[in-house]
C-alpha cells in the first residue's frame, strides 16, 4: 500500500425530505447570497427547485439563479455564471441536479474568484488557491461529483472535454434524497450505474500491491450495485434500492476506496473523447470502452481479473486456466450491460464511427512518456487497438 493523504470534507444530509434543509445548511456554511445552478428543467418539473427556494427564503438566504446546464456541460454557460457571481457578490454556489450542473457550478466557483481565464486554468491544469464554496442537491447517482474534487467541462468551439481537479472543489455539503431519483428515465439510471461501476474499476485496476482492504471495499460496492440495479430496473420507486445506489455512487468516487493505490483512468480519458466528439452520455460511452479495455489488458494481470470474476461475478475459478476465469468475468459484465442496463456495447450501437479512431486516439490526453493510464500504461497504438476492439 502506498502512502496517502485523504480528506473528504463534504457534509452529507442523506434521506427523505432533506432538500428542505437547503436553507439551514447554506446558512451553516456562511452563505448570504447563493447562485442556484441547474440543468434543463427536470428540477422545475419535479417541484424540487421551488422547495429549495422556499427553504432558502425561510432561512433568510438571498439567491440568484442560472439554469440551462446541458449534459457534457458547456464552457459558455460557465462564463455566464462567473459574470453573475461577480456582479451579484455570490458567496456560495448551490447546484441542484446531476453531475453536469455540479461540474458547471465547480468551474464557475473557480472562475469567479481567479483572475486567469477559466479555460486556461483547466487546460493547463493550474493549481488554484481559492474558489467559491460549492454545495449540491443531487438528483442522479452517477458521477460522484457531489463529493469529488473534480469537474469536467466541454469547450464546444474546440471540441475539447477536459477534467480539472482541486481539493477546493469538494462540495461543502451535499443533500441526497433518494426519492429525487424516482423520476429518472431508465436510460439515465443505467448510465449513472455504469459510471459509478467505472469509477470502481478505474481504481481496481492498479499496479499497486498490498491493497486487499480497498480491493474488497470495491468488490462490496460492485456487488451491492449489481443487486440493486436488478431491483430498480423492475421497480423504479423502490426507496432502499435507490438509496443504496445513491450512496454507492458517492463511495465509488470520493476516493475512500481508492486510497493507497495507483489508479488507472485510461478508460475515462478514452470515453471523454467519445462524448466530446459525439455528445453521447458519459455512462453510455463507458459501457462501450470498459469491456474493450478489459479484454485488451487482462493478460497484464490475469490474477486480478480472475479475482474480480470470482468475487464479484461468482465465476467458479479454474485454477489451471485463470484466463478462462478472467474472461468469464468480462463476459458477465458485458451481459450485465446488455441485459440489465440495456446500454450500447459497441461503436455501432453508440453511433461512433470506425474512421474517427485515429482522431479520437490523437485527441486523448496522454501523460508522462506519452502514455495513458497506470495499470498497463497505454501507447497511442494500444489506445487505437482498444477503440477497434469496441467496434
- The site for ligand NZQ (CB under 6 A) is made up of 39-43, 71-72, 97-101, 103, 139-140, 142-145, 148, 150-152, 180-181, 183-184, 188, 191-192, 195, 253, 268, 282
Q: Which does 94 bind (CB under 5 to 8 A by kind): Zn ion, ligand NZQ, none?
A: none
State how far Cα 219 lies from the chain centre: 18
Closest CA to 100 of 157, 48, 139: 139
Q: Which does 155 bind (CB under 5 to 8 A by kind): ligand NZQ, Zn ion, none?
A: none
Shortest CB 346 distance to ligand NZQ, Å: 20
Q: Which does 142 bind (CB under 5 to 8 A by kind): Zn ion, ligand NZQ, none?
A: ligand NZQ
- Side by side, the strands of the sheet bearing 62-66 are 11-14, 173-176, 134-138, 92-97, 33-38, 62-66
Shortest CB 109 distance to Zn ion, Å: 20
Residue 72 or 361 with smaller CB distance to ligand NZQ: 72
Q: Nearest residue to ligand NZQ, using CB?
A: 39
Cα gap 270→265, rounded to integer Å: 9
Residue 91 or 103 with smaller CB distance to ligand NZQ: 103
Shortest CB 275 distance to Zn ion, Å: 10
Pairing relationship of beta strands 33-38 and 173-176 according to DSSP bridges: unpaired
Cβ neighbours, 10 Å, residue 269: 20
DSSP character at residue 99: H
Give residues 185-244 in contact with Zn ion (rule: CB under 5 A): 195
Instruction: Report whether 264 contacts 290 (CB < 8 A).
Output: no
Cα gap 282→146, rounded to integer Å: 16
Q: How many Cα neighbours within 13 Å face the side chain of 243?
A: 9
Cα gap 343→187, rounded to integer Å: 8
Shortest CB 336 distance to Zn ion, Å: 17
* Non-local CB neighbours of 278 within 8 Å, separated by 6+ positions: 350, 351, 352
What is the size of the binding site for Zn ion (CB under 5 A)? 1
Q: Which does 255 bind (CB under 5 to 8 A by kind): ligand NZQ, Zn ion, none?
A: none
Shortest CB 318 distance to ligand NZQ, Å: 34
Q: Which does 188 bind (CB under 5 to 8 A by kind): ligand NZQ, Zn ion, none?
A: ligand NZQ
Shortest CB 377 distance to Zn ion, Å: 20
Q: Which does 250 bind (CB under 5 to 8 A by kind): ligand NZQ, Zn ion, none?
A: none
Q: Which does 178 bind (CB under 5 to 8 A by kind): Zn ion, ligand NZQ, none?
A: none
Residues 18, 20, 24, 28, CA torsion sign? positive
Residue 29 or 187 with smaller CB distance to ligand NZQ: 187
Residue 164 or 315 with smaller CB distance to ligand NZQ: 164
Shortest CB 242 distance to ligand NZQ, Å: 10
Residue 31 or 345 with smaller CB distance to Zn ion: 345
User: DSSP H helical segments within the chain, as ranges?
Assistant: 22-28, 42-45, 48-58, 75-88, 99-113, 118-123, 186-204, 212-234, 239-251, 266-278, 282-297, 302-313, 322-335, 347-350, 357-363, 380-389
Rounded to 10 deg, the angle between the 302-313 and 322-335 helix axes is 50
Q: Which does 42 bind (CB under 5 to 8 A by kind): Zn ion, ligand NZQ, none?
A: ligand NZQ
Shortest CB 192 distance to Zn ion, Å: 10
Stated length of the chain: 391
Q: Nearest residue to Zn ion, using CB?
A: 195
Shortest CB 109 distance to ligand NZQ, Å: 12
Residue 193 or 326 with smaller CB distance to ligand NZQ: 193
User: Is 146 a residue that touches Zn ion (CB under 5 A)?
Assistant: no
Q: Which does 183 bind (CB under 5 to 8 A by kind): ligand NZQ, Zn ion, none?
A: ligand NZQ
Cα gap 156→153, rounded to integer Å: 9
Give the residues lining the site for Zn ion (CB under 5 A): 195
Amino acid at each position: 500500500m502506498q502512502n496517502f493523504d485523504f480528506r473528504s470534507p463534504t457534509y452529507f444530509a442523506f434521506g427523505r425530505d432533506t432538500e428542505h434543509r437547503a436553507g439551514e445548511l447554506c446558512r451553516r456554511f456562511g452563505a448570504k447570497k447563493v447562485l442556484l445552478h441547474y440543468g434543463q428543467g427536470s428540477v422545475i418539473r419535479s417541484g424540487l427547485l421551488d422547495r429549495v427556494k422556499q427553504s432558502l427564503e425561510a432561512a433568510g438566504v438571498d439567491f440568484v439563479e442560472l439554469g440551462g446546464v446541458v449534459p457534457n456541460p458547456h464552457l459558455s454557460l460557465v462564463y455566464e455564471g462567473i459574470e453573475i457571481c461577480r456582479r451579484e457578490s455570490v458567496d456560495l454556489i448551490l447546484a441542484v441536479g446531476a453531475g453536469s450542473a455540479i461540474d458547471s457550478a465547480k468551474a464557475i466557483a473557480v472562475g469567479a474568484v481567479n483572475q486567469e481565464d477559466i479555460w486556461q486554468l483547466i487546460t493547463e491544469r493550474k493549481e488554484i488557491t481559492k474558489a467559491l464554496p460549492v454545495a449540491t442537491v443531487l438528483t442522479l447517482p452517477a458521477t460522484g461529483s457531489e463529493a469529488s474534487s473534480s469537474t469536467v467541462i466541454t469547450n464546444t468551439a474546440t471540441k475539447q472535454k477536459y477534467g480539472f481537479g482541486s481539493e477546493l472543489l469538494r462540495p461543502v455539503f451535499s443533500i441526497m434524497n433518494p426519492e429525487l431519483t424516482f423520476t429518472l428515465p431508465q436510460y439515465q439510471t443505467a448510465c449513472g450505474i455504469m459510471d459509478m461501476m467505472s469509477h470502481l474499476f478505474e481504481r481496481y485496476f492498479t499496479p499497486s500491491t498490498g491493497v486487499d482492504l480497498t480491493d474488497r471495499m470495491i468488490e462490496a460496492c460492485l456487488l451491492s450495485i449489481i443487486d440493486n440495479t436488478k431491483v430498480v430496473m423492475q421497480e423504479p420507486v423502490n426507496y432502499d434500492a435507490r438509496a443504496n445506489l445513491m450512496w454507492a455512487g458517492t463511495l465509488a468516487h470520493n476516493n475512500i476506496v481508492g486510497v493507497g493505490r495507483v489508479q488507472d483512468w485510461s478508460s475515462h480519458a478514452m470515453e471523454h473523447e467519445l462524448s466530446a466528439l459525439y455528445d453521447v452520455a458519459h455512462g453510455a460511452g463507458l459501457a462501450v470502452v470498459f469491456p474493450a479495455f478489459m479484454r485488451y489488458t487482462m493478460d497484464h494481470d490475469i490474477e486480478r481479473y480472475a479475482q474480480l470474476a470470482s468475487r464479484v461475478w461468482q465465476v467458479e475459478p479454474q485454477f489451471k486456466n485463470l484466463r478462462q476465469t478472467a474472461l468469464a468475468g468480462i463476459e458477465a459484465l458485458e451481459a450485465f450491460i446488455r441485459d440489465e442496463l440495456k446500454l450500447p456495447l459497441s461503436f455501432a450501437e453508440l453511433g461512433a464511427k470506425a474512421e474517427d479512431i485515429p482522431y479520437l486516439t490523437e485527441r486523448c490526453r496522454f501523460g508522462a512518456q506519452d502514455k495513458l493510464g497506470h495499470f498497463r500504461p497505454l501507447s497511442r497504438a494500444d489506445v487505437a487497438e482498444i477503440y477497434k476492439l469496441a467496434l
